[in-house]
Chain A
Amino acid sequence: MAPELHVVDAEVFAKVQHAFAEALGLDDDEVEMDAKVIDDLGAESLDFLDIAFRLERTFDVKIPRGGVEAAARDGLVDGEPYELEGVLTARGLEALREAMPEVPPDEFHEGLKTAEVPTLFRVATFYRLVLHLMAEAEVRAAG
């Protein structure tokens, strides 16, 4: 069962929706919070570039390459492998699950390949990433 996704900032989400719609040639209302970016919205590999570029410009943030996976790797203790020969380890799966709470837990199954991780991405994944990056930027600006 999918975790419940609450829109905590309607203005931010509307902008995220619009960025996806522009990048994928869709109407804004077709971009739902729990939509799978690849399987539901039909995004292709290069579309992620466009999505990232539009989000960066809209919110004045910098989306790091491999953003979500990088966060998952950061959650691992030194020496703990995230993946072995392209397949996520048990700890890698756990770290990724923590990094993407919007994805139903059963989708982090044993044998998941790193190349398959983008198929898990929801619109909510990017929405949460944007909120996180905006909060980081605010902290930097304040400090």
Chain B
Amino acid sequence: MSELPRFAFLVHPLSGLHRRVIGVRRGYLPMALGADGLGAPAGLICRPVVPGVAEGQVVSVPLLPDQMIGDQVVALEAMKRAVEDLDVNAVGLGSLCAVVAGRGTGLVDALDGRGPPITTGASATAWAAAENTLAVLRARQARTVALIGIGGAVGGAVARRLVGADVRVLAVCKGRAQVKKAARLGAHGVTLEEALAGARVLVGASTNGGLVDPDALSEGTVVVDVALPATLSSGPRPAGVIVLAGEAVTLPDGWRRGFWGWLYHGLAGYGPWQLYACVVEPLVMAVTGRAAPFSLGRQVDLDDLEAFAAGAAELGIRPRLAHGWREIPVGRLGGMDAAPALPGPAT
């Protein structure tokens, strides 16, 4: 057996088509033919490798999103079965695997000390979103952002990191508790309208999709989106509005993935030239020999986030400004703003 550090990334199919593909990959006929998957074992999707550095595997439980959230006990049991016998140094959780059953905490409890360490990907996601946002702000010589989702683990961590970088964060808040939280993090609790009027860079980190009507954006607004579903509702967008995949990162140096890995990149939405940051969190954990998760449960600790950032840099992983799969040149993002305090929407 190889002595290289090993990592795994646990996912679930996003659609019935994905699950059929996984069934074909595993040679498991009922799943390939569209069976509901409830009793099926988890299975390997692909084996990405960073040559000479680490070996990975992407493993899928057989449950669709509706099944993952429909019965969290069933989802937890499926995740436990999938990871308890994995001989790896770290397991990352993708999509709803990182959300159901207490954001990883239920899985850790269920494993009860057996099996590999679990990490949810939130530190990596927050790091990528914050760094991509800072890159946009630098390109625009601006220092104010609007942020949706400060109540969440990722949104809260992004706010703290941006505030630490001397950025003025206008955090959209609902209720007294969120206003207090925003103040604790050094952000300004405001309404959505006030946030959009005060900034032309918007970070979307909420788990409620479609919160912003594109019409409410000023021309030239850049949306750094890590929200699923997407932050903007459907409809035509004002001129110059760019939506960036907030958690996009470059591939680790030498990343090899094989046929099924290429297919996985396509089906998961990463595209050929990038990954979402959560995928590389267990890779960095395994390579740095770290046993403690970078993120688990609700909170993201900034020290953990910085530790992840340092490990990611060693592997050549960098935040990537991308619209979908396509890289956006920094030059396309600049030139709209010159002043720190930005004007409100045109009337």
Residue numbers of A with Cβ under 8 A of B are: 22-26, 30, 35-36, 38-47, 49-50, 52-54, 56-57, 62, 65
Contact = CB atoms under 8 A, between A and B. Distances in A.
Given A24-B151, A25-B151, A53-B72, A44 B177 contact: no
Nearest to A63: B72
B177 A30 contact: yes
A44 B207 contact: yes
Given A30-B176, A36-B175, A62-B73, 16 more contacts: A25-B153, A26-B177, A30-B177, A39-B174, A40-B174, A42-B177, A50-B99, A50-B102, A50-B103, A50-B298, A53-B72, A53-B101, A53-B106, A54-B102, A56-B73, A57-B106
B151 A38 contact: no
B208 interface: yes
A40 B153 CA distance: 18
Contact of B100 (A24, A40, A41, A49): A49
Nearest to B298: A25
A56 B75 CA distance: 14
B207 A45 contact: yes
A62 B70 CA distance: 12
B14 interface: no
B208 A39 contact: no
Q: How many interface residues does chain B have, given as a range?
A: 20 to 34
B170 to A, nearest CB: 16
B99 A40 contact: no
Nearest to B150: A42
Contact of B298 (A22, A36, A41, A53): A22
Interface centre among B71, B156, B177 (most CB of A within 10 A): B177
B257 interface: no
B173 interface: yes
B207 A46 contact: yes
B99 A46 contact: yes
B171 to A, nearest CB: 10
A33 to B, nearest CB: 14
B103 A43 contact: no
Given A46-B99, A49-B99, A52-B72, A40 B175 contact: yes
Given A53-B100, A53-B102, A57-B106, A25 B173 contact: no
B120 interface: no
A97 to B, nearest CB: 23
A65 B208 contact: no
